[in-house]
C-alpha cells in the first residue's frame, strides 16, 4: 500500500516595504488636487474628496521585472466606508523591450475578474495585438495576464502601482500590494530633529539618514550647526 504524497506547500511571498513618498516615481505620479494618500500603520490610505476630474490618486514604484515573472498582482484593501469603486492595480509596461513605456495594463478584479485592460493612452501596436477586442472590460483591448504574456513574451514591467479615480469618490486603505512574489506594505521615513533624539537607542530608529551608532547621529546635528 503506497501512501499518497502531499502536495508541496507554496512559499509565502517575500516581505518588503515601500517608503512613502520616496519610493514613488514623481514623473509617473497622477495624484491630483483632490486626491490624497497617507501612511496609516503599515497601510496606505487613499481617498478622494468628490467625483470631479481632480479626484484621483495614483502612484507607482519603479521595477525592472519581466511581465512573465509578475505573477498575479493584487491589492489587499479595506474600505473606510466611502465609495464602492475600489482602487485598481496598474502596470507600466514596455511591451516591445526597447526600454520605454508603451502603455499601462489595469487590473480591477472587483469589476472584471482576472481580465486586464490596456489604458487608452497605450500605443497603437499594443492595442492592435491585445488578446481580445470586445466590450465588457475597462477598454476594448484586454485579456488575462497570461494572454498578454503570450502576446508580448519580451514585455518588461517598468513600474507597478495603484489608481483610484478620476471622477470617483472613495476612501480605502491599501493594506498591502503583492507583485512578483513580494508583498509590500508601507512606511514613512523616520527623521530625527535633534541630537537628544539620538540617545537611548533613538539613533537606530532613523531611516533618513541611517546612522551606524549614537555618536554619528549626535555628530550630524553638531555639523548642522
pLDDT for the residue 123: 98
Q: Give the model confidence (pLDDT) of 149-193 as tens digits.
A: 999 999 999 999 999 999 999 999 999 999 999 999 999 988 999
What does CATH list as the number for 14-188? 2.60.120
| pLDDT surpasses 80 at 9 | no
What number is the average pLDDT over the span 39-55? 97
Report domain extents, the chain.
14-188, 195-224
What is the band of 2 on the pLDDT scale with cuts at 50, 70, 90?
Answer: very low
Mean pLDDT of 95-101: 96
Complete DSSP assignment for 136-185: SSSSSSEEEHHHHHHH-TT-EEEEEEEEE-SS---EEEEEEEEETTEEEE
Task: Please report which confidence band the pLDDT of residue 1 belongs to, taking 50, 70 and 90 as the band edges.
Answer: very low
Amino acid at each position: 500500500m503506497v501512501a499518497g504524497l502531499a502536495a508541496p506547500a507554496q512559499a509565502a511571498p517575500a516581505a518588503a516595504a515601500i517608503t512613502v513618498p520616496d519610493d514613488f516615481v514623481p514623473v509617473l505620479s497622477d495624484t491630483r488636487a483632490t486626491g490624497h494618500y497617507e501612511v496609516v500603520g503599515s497601510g496606505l490610505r487613499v481617498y478622494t474628496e468628490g467625483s470631479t476630474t481632480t479626484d484621483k490618486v495614483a502612484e507607482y514604484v519603479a521595477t525592472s521585472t519581466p511581465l512573465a515573472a509578475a505573477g498575479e498582482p493584487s491589492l489587499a484593501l479595506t474600505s473606510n466606508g466611502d465609495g464602492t469603486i475600489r482602487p485598481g492595480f496598474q502596470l507600466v509596461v514596455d511591451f516591445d523591450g526597447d526600454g520605454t513605456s508603451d502603455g499601462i495594463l489595469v487590473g480591477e478584479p472587483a469589476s472584471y475578474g482576472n481580465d486586464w485592460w490596456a489604458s487608452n493612452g497605450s500605443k497603437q501596436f499594443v492595442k492592435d495585438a491585445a488578446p481580445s477586442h470586445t466590450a465588457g472590460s475597462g477598454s476594448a483591448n484586454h485579456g488575462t495576464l497570461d494572454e498578454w504574456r503570450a502576446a508580448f513574451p519580451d514585455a518588461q514591467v517598468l513600474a507597478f502601482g495603484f489608481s483610484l479615480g478620476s471622477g470617483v469618490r472613495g476612501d480605502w486603505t491599501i493594506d498591502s500590494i503583492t507583485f512578483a512574489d513580494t508583498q509590500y506594505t508601507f512606511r514613512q521615513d523616520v527623521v530625527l530633529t535633534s541630537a537628544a533624539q539620538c540617545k537611548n537607542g533613538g539613533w537606530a530608529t532613523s531611516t533618513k539618514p541611517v546612522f551606524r551608532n549614537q555618536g554619528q547621529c549626535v555628530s550630524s546635528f553638531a555639523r548642522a550647526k
